[in-house]
């Protein structure tokens, strides 16, 4: 058994930020199932939404966030995260993060603030179109040289260790975690009174997603099995513009492209967003995604097109260098050609339910970043609020975790026992189940839903869950098997939450209940394992 003051699962902006702060107070285990740089944060293109201009205000940013959240945002969380944003941004800059600047009319340098859908002002701090990678790199550079942080790459968390499972007669608390060392195949036992979930979202539960392969909903599934409350998993945000190309999968075309004037057109070259919302291409993501979905279904087309060719070529290349180069490698020059795009699963707006300090309903367990449901996003996330939430909530969780009292009794952890399990000899079955889950979620639990589709998904997922459980108990654990186990759990939570919401709100749109019902459903959907 290895003992630490803090255990952090995940290496995105939230996990890295918490680890750096916590390392000044004690020993930190920073666990990531791939490399440190493998995170949703590293894939973020657009930027960080934060009030940084005299033309902007906290109240405007709060209003935009509440409007996008469709009546389900927790205003106290929205106010706290937005008003604390500038201080956390200043900390990122001190750690070496660069944001693009421009020369103003007085010849002075100032932040080059972008604009994205749902925002009434320019407030997006960015580094070209690779903002997440810039933040990730700066934080990793700080982590690598810190003597109090034990980085454990290629280690995957299996399950939390709780006092309830251990048989202690006390408030159920998280006191550690079992972690699979992929290099050795051994499940290690880690002990701490403070465990922080920063594992990101669950985009890979869908067939088409803008997320990296690591986004398999591990944190939500682990928290669910440990008894923590889960909220609002029906609200999965589909990004409107994922590149549609046979040779390139999961490549996001940033919302900032539309923020800089790109328009959406159909196969006949006609603009269509004006028929769906007065804000046209700058409407909130749920509206734009549904509009594209409707246009594709109406015409039978496989995609629509994003057109920014009316902008100067030099501007496109300097503002969006990564997007330009990636598309060029696919034979597409976006300075002269329209970009084929489709919606794809992008962001998990629900997650492990927390308070304003990241505390979950399970003592000793904190959740920050995309894995958490803080109340900021409500039924639909406002563009670029996620990186802001990650860095602010990392700070708040750090402050609370370092003040909480330690477990009052000595805890003896049970070592992991594999028993008489055998090596998995039919990997094709795991692969098949993985693909089946993602396909049925795309077909039945996508942008537009019905009760009949959801019930079909629920029935099949119950059967798949039984199959996966049989694998889990009879075979040696591997990363593939653990991810499949988590994937089927999270898929079931999305479906169960969606079935319980008999209305359309934000990202949850159902043909059976097309209207919003504030009288009955202006509340979180909270699930807890019995």
**What is the C-alpha separation between 363 and 29, in angstroms, rounded?**
19
In Å, how far are 159, 246, 418 from 188, measured between CA atoms? 11, 41, 11
In Å, how far are 430, 491, 530 from 459, measured between CA atoms? 19, 12, 20
SS3 label, residue 253 = coil
**What is the C-alpha separation between 460 and 492, in angstroms, rounded?**
10
* Paired tokens of 287: 């509206």
Would residue 285 show up in a list of annotated catalytic residues for this protein?
Answer: yes
* Paired tokens of 366: 């904190």
Return the percent helix, strand and coil in the chain, to nearest 5: 40, 20, 40
Phi, psi of 109 (to 5 degrees): -80, 140
User: 285, 290, 381, 453: which one is catalytic?
Assistant: 285
Largest CA distance in the chain: 74
CB 255 within 8 A of CB 381: no
CB 370 within 8 A of CB 347: yes
Task: Give the DSSP H or E segment for 62.
Answer: helix 58-68
As annotated, the active-site residues are 285
């Amino acid at each position: 058994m290895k003992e630490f003051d803090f255990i952090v699962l995940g290496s995105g902006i939230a996990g890295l930020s918490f680890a750096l702060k916590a390392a000044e107070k004690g020993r930190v285990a920073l666990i990531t199932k791939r490399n440190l740089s493998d995170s949703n944060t590293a894939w973020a293109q657009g930027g960080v939404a934060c009030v940084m201009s005299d033309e902007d205000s906290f109240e405007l940013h709060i209003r935009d966030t509440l409007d996008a959240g469709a009546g389900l945002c927790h205003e106290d969380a929205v106010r706290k995260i937005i008003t604390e944003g500038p201080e956390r941004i200043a900390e990122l800059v001190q750690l070496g993060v660069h944001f693009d600047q421009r020369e103003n009319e007085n010849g002075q340098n100032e932040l080059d603030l972008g604009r994205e859908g749902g925002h009434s002002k320019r407030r997006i701090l960015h580094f070209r179109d690779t903002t997440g990678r810039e933040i990730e790199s700066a934080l990793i550079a700080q982590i690598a040289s810190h003597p109090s942080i034990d980085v454990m790459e290629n280690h995957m968390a299996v399950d939390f260790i709780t006092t309830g499972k251990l048989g202690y007669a006390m408030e159920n608390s998280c006191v550690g975690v079992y972690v699979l060392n992929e290099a050795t195949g051994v499940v290690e036992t880690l002990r701490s009174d403070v465990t922080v979930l920063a594992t990101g979202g669950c985009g890979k539960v869908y067939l088409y997603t803008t997320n990296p392969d690591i986004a398999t909903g591990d944190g939500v599934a682990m928290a669910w099995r440990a008894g923590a409350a889960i909220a609002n998993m029906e609200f999965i945000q589909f990004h409107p513009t994922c590149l549609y190309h046979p040779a390139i999968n999961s490549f996001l075309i940033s919302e900032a492209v539309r923020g800089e004037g790109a328009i959406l057109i159909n196969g006949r070259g006609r603009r269509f967003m004006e028929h769906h919302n007065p804000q046209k291409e700058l409407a909130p993501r749920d509206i734009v995604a549904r509009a594209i979905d409707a246009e594709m279904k109406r015409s039978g087309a496989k995609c629509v097109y994003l057109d920014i060719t009316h902008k100067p070529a030099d501007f496109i290349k300097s503002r969006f260098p990564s997007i330009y180069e990636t598309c060029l490698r696919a034979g597409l020059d976006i300075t002269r050609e329209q970009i084929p795009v489709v919606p794809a699963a992008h962001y998990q707006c629900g997650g492990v339910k927390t308070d304003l300090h990241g505390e979950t309903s399970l003592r000793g367990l904190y959740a920050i970043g995309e894995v958490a449901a803080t109340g900021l996003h409500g039924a639909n996330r406002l563009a670029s609020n996620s990186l802001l939430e990650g860095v602010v909530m990392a700070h708040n969780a750090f402050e609370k975790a370092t003040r909480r009292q330690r477990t009052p009794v000595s805890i003896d952890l049970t070592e992991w026992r594999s028993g008489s399990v055998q090596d998995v000899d039919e990997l094709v079955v795991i692969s098949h189940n993985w693909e089946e889950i993602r396909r049925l979620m795309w077909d039945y639990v996508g942008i537009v839903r019905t009760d009949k589709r959801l019930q079909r998904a629920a029935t099949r997922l119950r059967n798949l869950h039984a199959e996966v459980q049989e694998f889990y108990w009879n075979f040696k654990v591997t990363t593939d098997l653990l991810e499949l186990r988590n994937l089927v759990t999270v898929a079931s939570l999305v479906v169960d939450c969606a079935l319980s919401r008999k209305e359309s709100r934000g990202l949850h749109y159902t043909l059976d209940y097309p209207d919003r019902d504030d009288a009955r459903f202006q509340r979180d959907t909270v699930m807890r394992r019995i």
